[in-house]
A = this chain, B = another copy of it.
């Protein structure tokens, strides 16, 4: 919390043009509205441009087109602080955000309460917290961090610099790439939901003998689940970002850089392309394919393959409940209405 950096250092890291004193100290990030002395803000969205003049930020990351107005304005109405000019101020803010992250620095070493199988390979400079369990033949990459109570199953691998939060469960035979971030409560490699009907109404479990392979630079949110494959692996590409409560079923394939917001889910054996964006609760049924560059709007269910990039929706619009009652009942009459309309047109 007491970290501080000079504007000069920040400008150099961001490769930004600095208008202001490079010796000025910056001790935090904040919004234009809330930033005060010693804090750095950013202007990334046109709709907040009017907040610039009144901002008390020590410095602001902004694009050239907003830099003139404030410099020109007088002290009463204009922004008079320092500026860092970038073509993409939002990206600049994102890039500098790690410098101000208050997350405690992990202490390298293995906590004495952790249970590490002697056959596991533990890389240099790892930080393994209390009550962690690492099973036989697991491989933990250098600089990895394992939060308290996390478990790494037999033969599983974590790439260099992976950050596993507290109480994460990783089953056996899972491979996770470098710099992965996995949040608490996430479960990777539980059994896919596979059962065969026996014929008498009961179910025969299909043991899930595949694994999970996750690329580099992936983030997985709290309480999200990625199931192991039935036969062969479930696969998550590089740079995929996954929010909380997401479900990836067995043998799903997710392409590089696809983003999935909370509760989005993909059922078994579906394949999702690269650079797709799933809004919250966007779900996909099993055994379909979605091509690259598809956006699925919030709460929409994809029930068949999508072969062309684009934006897709399936959301009931919100109404006051009394209006909804009147209209909803008509949905079950729609086919009849369509036929009657056609009949009238024929007359």
Residues of A within 8 A of B (CB): 28-31, 34, 88, 90-91, 93-95, 97-98, 100-104, 111, 113, 115, 129-131, 133, 135-136, 147-149, 151, 153-154, 165-167, 169, 171-173, 181, 183-187, 190-191, 193-199, 201-209, 217, 219, 221-223, 225, 227, 231-232, 239, 241, 243-245, 247, 249, 256-257, 259, 261-263, 265, 267, 274-275, 280-281, 283, 285, 295, 297-304, 310-335, 337-338, 340-341, 344-345
Secondary structure at the A interface, as helix, strand, loop or mixed, is loop
> Given A247-B244, A247-B263 in contact, is the A281-B283 Cβ separation under 8 Å?
yes
User: Which of chain B's residues have a CB closer than 8 A to the CB of A327?
Assistant: 331-335
With A91-B196, A202-B239 known, 5 other A-B pairs at CB within 8 A are A193-B261, A223-B245, A283-B298, A283-B299, A341-B344
- Pick the residue among B129, B187, B322, B333 that contacts A184 (CB under 8 A): B187
Q: Is there an interface contact between B184 and A91, defined as CB atoms closer than 8 Å?
A: no
Residues of B within 8 A of A149 (CB): 131, 133, 149, 151, 167
Contact yes or no, A135 B104, CB < 8 A:
yes
Residue pair A93, B203 in contact (C-beta under 8 Å): no
B321 contacts A330, C-beta separation under 8 Å = no
Q: Find the B residue at minimum CB distance from A204.
A: B94
Copies in the complex: 3
A312–B318 touching, CB < 8 Å? yes
Known A131-B115, A169-B184, A183-B191: A280·B280 in contact at CB below 8 Å: no
* Nearest CB on B from A267, distance (A): 6
Interface centre among A28, A136, A340 (most CB of B within 10 A): A340
**With a CB–CB cut-off of 8 A, which chain B residues contact A324?**
297, 312-315
Q: A334-B327, A344-B344 are in contact. Are A193 and B209 (CB under 8 A)?
A: no
Q: Taking A103-B172, A247-B262, A315-B301 as contacts, is the C-beta distance between A93 and B335 under 8 angstroms? A: no
Cβ–Cβ < 8 Å partners of A29 in chain B: 209, 231
The chain B residue with its CB closest to the CB of A179 is B205
> What 8 A-B pairs come out closest when comparing CB atoms?
A169-B184, A94-B196, A313-B324, A330-B334, A311-B321, A97-B207, A187-B222, A190-B222
